[in-house]
Structure 1
Amino acid sequence: MISVIVMLIAISTGFGIQNEIKSKFSNLFGDASISKYGSEFFNTSENIDDNKIEIEKIKNLDEYYNVNKVIYSNAIIPNKTSFSPIVLKGVEKSNPIFSEFGIKSDSLKNNQAFISKTLGNLLGVNKGDKIKVFFYHSDKNPIIRSVEILDVFETGIKEFDDKFLVTDIKFLRTVNKWDQNSFGIVEIQFSSFNDEIYNYIDPQYSLTVNQNKFSEIYNWISLFDTNIYIVIVLMILVSGINMITVLLITILDKTNFIGTIKILGADNEMVRKIFIRNGMSLVFNGLIIGNIVGLLVLILQMNYKIVSLDASTYYINYVPIDINILHILILNIFIIISCFIFLQIPLRFISKIKPNRTLRMT
């Protein structure tokens, strides 16, 4: 029972953490991005030719549910002692980044921006304050703009909270002196990757998926799979050893019974079936109780977020839960099959029990 609870929690929390972190990065940066070859990830100094990327056709692909025009601009802001390098992300009002903040995008106007709590504390600014932003380009004089802080956010992703401000894409178009349809990068969210997208992208542009852009983070996330499998294997082994021990003790305790029914005509196979039923009934009882208790624990965590995490390490401040019925069914089937195999080990002793010796000892 305890092993079932531990395995359920390991699967639901492991995949829950993976999915939550991936969802955060997806909302902030998309699942993939289209940009010019050789351009920096977070500094779009050149605008993209709208005719070279067929955005409307990409939107019509079933797998791609969010296609967003974005501009990234490097800048510096005076802080309490010197200057802080920042990145302004210009987005359209439909960008999923606002769902990550829990803020209505309609409130965002020109010359306004959202700032992270971390960066706000560093710069000593709060909601409603105005700051001077210095935009710089290698071949141009710095451009100075006054930006009002509309609100403060906290995503939990240090790489974003430490240096990003979010503003309206129209504001950065004005700063860059681009026309009102220009953009520097296209960020895409998809349910699954479809190669057909390459038909709508000019060869001078590249498509980069998040796994490559944030490879270290995604490699770290993938380690949760290994942890889940290790926990499952260990718990299966523990359960199997317990089942072997319990059934072996039962067989030794019922030696006289086994000898008696063998004399009455029962063969080894018939005796095995009796003990298999007994062992499997213990397995099913443990599964039922373990699943009920495990699901109750998971539902409590899902609703009340009882167990917290260090956001600076895990990018989230609580343990997220992913209750996947298919995963639970597969786990239960795997446990049943594994326990059935383990039960065969002590059942070998049944054939070695001789009725005449057993009754003589009695």
Structure 2
Amino acid sequence: MNVPVFLARKVRHAPEGSFSATVTRIGVTSIALGLAILIVAFAVLFGFKNTIQQKIFLFGAHLQVSKFTNNASYEETALPLNTNLYRDSTRIPGVRHIQAVAMKAGILKTDEELTGIILKGVGRDYDWNLFRESLVAGAVPVVGADTGSGSTQLLLSQYMANQLKVKVGESIPLYFLGNPPRARKMTVVGIYETGLEEVDKTIALGDIRLIQRLNRWGPDSVGTYEIFVRDFDNVETTAANVFDVMSPDMRLIRVTDQYRPLFDWMMLLDRNMVILLSLIGFVASFNMVSVLLVLIIERTPMIGLLKALGGPNALIRRMFVFVGLNMVSWGLLIGNVVGLGICYLQDRFKLIPLDPKNYYMNYVPIVWHWPTILALNFATILLIALVLWIPTIIINRIQPVKALAFKK
């Protein structure tokens, strides 16, 4: 058996309650606790960012293209569907999906309450997949059907439904400003809730054909193209590709500009995570240096004996690094079990609730990002392996004669 393995086993199998065993447990606990906290922190961070982004993309899409106009109201200028951008969207690098929508301001009124809304008209090309987690009652409207009944179906937010005191299946008049004002009797077929106050208070969804008739547009005229990219990390590159295909009378809006406060908040979360990662890494490294330094001092007579027998400093230093890495392996094992276990319990049972008014969601979300979890493990091993060489420098200054006479 080689010397590093012998020393590692000797420290690891120190008598229960001995000083070496206590110090070893402190080192293992420090690594395990730090890694578990990092795993949970990154899972929650990615969960927050992913949940908020998906809620934003419900109504913002990644990119929006509309007719260039100086009009600052909700009355849109007609945008034809027969354009190179809409017709050949699948050929644009980075574009995953494009859908045509239209917006129009209106007022929902009951006998006792009224509220202003923005009716977002959608067609058959609209992607409802993002609504699966936000739909709390009923179903999504039937849009683009051959019969005319679909154009009177309405999807309200939970906030609007509570304010107007309406439920799924009830009818409610929707008034559009004009001269004279026009009214349509709408049927509430579904209720959604995103937790984003600026969305839940204003946006209702219906059939785009209703807005086309109100604006006296043809079936080939819409208000906006909503574009979803394949990889949001490359949204700027895709935006440049879309811009190259656009006509001169079109304008492009990125979701990061439309909802800048929310994305700035998510950038702040990233900065806080960097600070947390640095602090935990510093504490874990400091603890390991302290633990190994204590073990070196405790085993000074053994170091003196090895030097007296001709053992070089490099070999003795490697032995103590091996001891530290042995503690790291146990710390990683325990840290992964604890961190992943906490994430599983929260993801499965939603144990920690949140106030949606402040956090835009009902519970702490968890995202399993395995590359990050593996990177945390490798980074922990690399960082501690590097700092473990620092306390072993003291071994070079230990003199055999004094070490053999050293008393603990």
TM-score by shorter chain over 0.5: yes
* Residues in 2 aligned to 1:249 and 1:233: alpha-carbon distance in whole angstroms: 24
2:268 to 223, 226, 231: 223
Structure 2 matches for 1:1-362, cutoff 5 A? 1-38=32-69, 43-78=74-109, 83-97=114-128, 99-100=130-131, 101-102=134-135, 105=140, 107=142, 109-137=150-178, 140-191=179-230, 192-193=234-235, 194=238, 195-361=240-406
Residues 39, 86 of structure 1: alpha-carbon distance in 2 compared, 3 angstrom cutoff? farther
- CA deviation profile, 1:321-361 (whole Å, cap 9, x unmatched): 12222111221222112112221221121112111112234
Residues 285, 38 of structure 1: alpha-carbon distance in 2 compared, 3 angstrom cutoff? farther
Residues 296, 45 of structure 1: alpha-carbon distance in 2 compared, 3 angstrom cutoff? same
The TM-score with structure 1 as length reference comes to 0.93
- CA deviation profile, 1:107-148 (whole Å, cap 9, x unmatched): 4511110111111111222212222222125xx432221111
Deviates more, 1:311-320 or 1:81-90: 81-90
* Residues in 1 aligned to 2:333 and 2:72: alpha-carbon distance in whole angstroms: 50
Residues 307, 147 of structure 1: alpha-carbon distance in 2 compared, 3 angstrom cutoff? same
Q: Cα distance, 1:176 vs. partner?
A: 1.6
Helix, strand or coil at the partner of 2:218: coil
Amino acid at match of 1:134: Y
Helix, strand or coil at the partner of 1:344: coil
Residue 147 of structure 2 corresponds to none
* Residues in 2 aligned to 1:105 and 1:212: alpha-carbon distance in whole angstroms: 28
Q: Cα distance, 1:215 vs. partner?
A: 0.5
- CA deviation profile, 1:158-200 (whole Å, cap 9, x unmatched): 1111121110111211222211121100111112332222232
Task: Check conservation: 1:72, 1:87, Cα contact below 8 A.
Answer: yes
Runs of 5+ unmatched residues, structure 2: 1-31, 144-149
Q: Cα distance, 1:79 vs. partner?
A: 5.3
Task: Check conservation: 2:63, 2:227, Cα contact below 8 A.
Answer: yes
Helix, strand or coil at the partner of 2:295: helix
* Residues in 2 aligned to 1:41 and 1:280: alpha-carbon distance in whole angstroms: 64
* Residues in 1 aligned to 2:44 and 2:200: alpha-carbon distance in whole angstroms: 25
Helix, strand or coil at the partner of 2:243: helix
- CA deviation profile, 1:224-274 (whole Å, cap 9, x unmatched): 211221221111111111101111110111000000000000121111000
Amino acid at match of 1:165: A
Q: Cα distance, 1:82 vs. partner?
A: 6.2
Q: Cα distance, 1:214 vs. partner?
A: 0.6
Q: Percent identity?
A: 27
The TM-score with structure 2 as length reference comes to 0.83
Q: Cα distance, 1:61 vs. partner?
A: 3.0
Amino acid at match of 1:279: G
Q: Cα distance, 1:74 vs. partner?
A: 0.7
Task: Check conservation: 2:301, 2:405, Cα contact below 8 A.
Answer: no
* Residues in 2 aligned to 1:65 and 1:173: alpha-carbon distance in whole angstroms: 26
* Residues in 1 aligned to 2:312 and 2:363: alpha-carbon distance in whole angstroms: 57
Deviates more, 1:189-198 or 1:271-280: 189-198
* Residues in 1 aligned to 2:122 and 2:297: alpha-carbon distance in whole angstroms: 73
Helix, strand or coil at the partner of 1:69: strand
Amino acid at match of 1:25: I
